[in-house]
Each structure stands twice: as structure tokens, then as C-alpha cells.
Amino acid sequence: MGAVVDPWLALAAFLVELAGGPPLTSLDPGPSAACPDDMRLVDGTHYDSMYHLCLDTRPGEKKRKHCFGYAEGVSLLEGPETPVRVCMDQFEWPNRRGAEPAVLESFESADKQCRKVGKRMCSEQEWELACEGPRHQPLAYGWSVNVKLCNSGKEWRPVDFAAFDGARDRARRETRKLWQGAKSGSYATCVSPFGVYDLTGNVEEWVATRPGRKFPGALMGGFWAKPWTGCRGTNDAHQPGFAFYETGFRCCKDPAPATRAAAGPGR
């Protein structure tokens, strides 16, 4: 019997192809017995360095150049290998489909909230593998940027940076003015091969950093105004107390240990 496919995701895939986008090949595989139902199992090998062949370079912010398209299936994997097996929140905090993802979160506040619910911060390596999938693709949904697939094509709005240096209420008002986030899971096509939504675009996500980074936390995945952001490209420039209008997070936890298969007859 064939696998059961969510009809809404199947419809989304059809509409994407009809609109001229790349075919949607990575639908949510569903929950695993090793994880809670609202998390997805990420299982595989992470490589410390990953390189792709860029075929489409375009100017981006501050006249920097960014890659918008890569040679499909071409991945150079180098550096130390890390086995990864982790349960990851399917959606950005508060990990509920249809909820607005939390922002104005620092690494410190994110860590505290994950611990409060018996989880922990995802590591940089876990987050990258969850985004790349087993084929180690540069974008959560494939090999070429398509702003229709994730909430990543919004126009950047000028920021009153002083609003984030003082009273929390002022920061919240500025955040609401700048807000262009989407409710979690509303982009049915923005799903990684492991079934994790909105890893690129929407809000930037705090993770626990690799050894050797200056700070314990870093930001991944870009936000709604950075269409070129992919699975790699860590923003490790901020102290753990930094919080901004587009900084959020998701949580991880260790999976349940694999159960030993029952002994057969005569054993």
C-alpha cells in the first residue's frame, strides 16, 4: 500500500508546479515513534563544511552578491562528520501550526523557554542538517530560490534602531510596525525533507553554536526579507542577550531510545 500524502500538501505541490516553480519533492514524512507528535525526527550525518556550485548570482543587500540558484545534486562535503539524531519542533516557537511565531527573543530567553518545557536549544549542526536533508541541498525546499515557496520575499522596511535600546513597550510597537511574518505552517511548500517548516525565511532562529564561536548562540535561516538565505550562513555576531524584531527560535530534544526488537520463537 502506498504512503498517505496530506491532500493539502499535494494541492500545494500542484499549484507550485503550475506556477512554474520547482516540483515539491519533500513533503512532511509525519511523526516518528521516537519523538512527540509535534516534533520531527532529524536523523543523518552532518558535515562541518558544505559547498555548492552557484549558477545564478545576483546583487542583494548593501550591494553584496548572493547565490539564487545552484547545480542540482552537486554537493562537496568536507570537515568533521557529526552523527545527528534529534527531535526538532516542527514549527517555530510556540510550535503550533497557525500561530504567529514569537519574536523579540534573545538566545537567553529562548534557552529558558525550551528548558521550561523539557526541551533544549537546537545545535547549529542539528539545524543545518534538518534544513539540508539527506541530499545536503542548499535550501530547505531544493536548489534554486523561489520566493513563492517560503515567506522570504518581503520588501525590507527601515528600522528605528533606537526603539530596541530602551523600554520593552517601545520595542514591541516598532516590531508590530515592521512585522511581515506569516503564521507557522501557512506556507505549505516551506518544509524540509525531514518535515520541519519555515526553517528559511519567516523569522530568524536562535541555535546553540559550534565549538569555537565567540558566543553561545547564533541566528540561522534569515527572515522574511532575505530570499537568498539558505541552510548555511550562520549569523554569530550577537551577544546572547540580543533580541530584535525578527529573532525567534524552535526547540529540540533527544529522541526516545530505540526499543529492542522482541525476541523470536525459541530465543
Reported as a single tens digit per residue, the pLDDT across 140-184 is: 999 999 999 999 999 999 999 999 998 899 999 999 999 999 999
Q: Examine residue 264 and state whether it is found in any structural domain, yes or no.
A: no
Closest CA to 89 of 163, 185, 208: 185
Instruction: Read off the CATH number of the domain in which 131 is found.
Output: 3.90.1580
Question: Which positions ≥6 away from 33 have C-beta within 8 Å?
Answer: 256
What are the CA-CA distances from residue 72 to residues 1, 165, 192, 221, 229 (Å)?
31, 44, 16, 20, 17
Q: Is residue 259 part of a domain?
A: no
What pLDDT, on the 0 to 100 scale, is given for residue 64?
A: 83
In a domain, 47, yes or no: yes
Total domain count, the chain: 1
Domain assignment present for residue 216? The answer is: yes
Residue 46, in any domain of the structure: yes
Calculate ∠ Cα 113-123-168, nearest 5°.
35
Whether residue 88 is contained in a domain is answered as yes
Band (257; pLDDT cuts 50, 70, 90): confident
Assess whether pLDDT exceeds 60 at residue 218: yes
Residue 263 lies in a domain: no
Name the percent of the chain in helix, strand, coil, to the closest 5.
20, 25, 55
CA–CA separation, 24 and 32 (whole Å): 22
Q: Report how far residue 197's alpha carbon sits from residue 62's, in angstroms, rounded to the nearest whole number.
A: 29
Q: Which residues contact 163 (CB under 8 A, 6 or more apart)?
A: 170, 171, 173, 174
Distances (CA, A) of 189 to 18, 30, 144, 154: 13, 15, 14, 17
Distance CA 115, CA 49 (A): 30
Domain that holds residue 56: 7-253
At 94 the pLDDT is: 98
Length of the chain: 267
Q: Is residue 266 part of a domain?
A: no
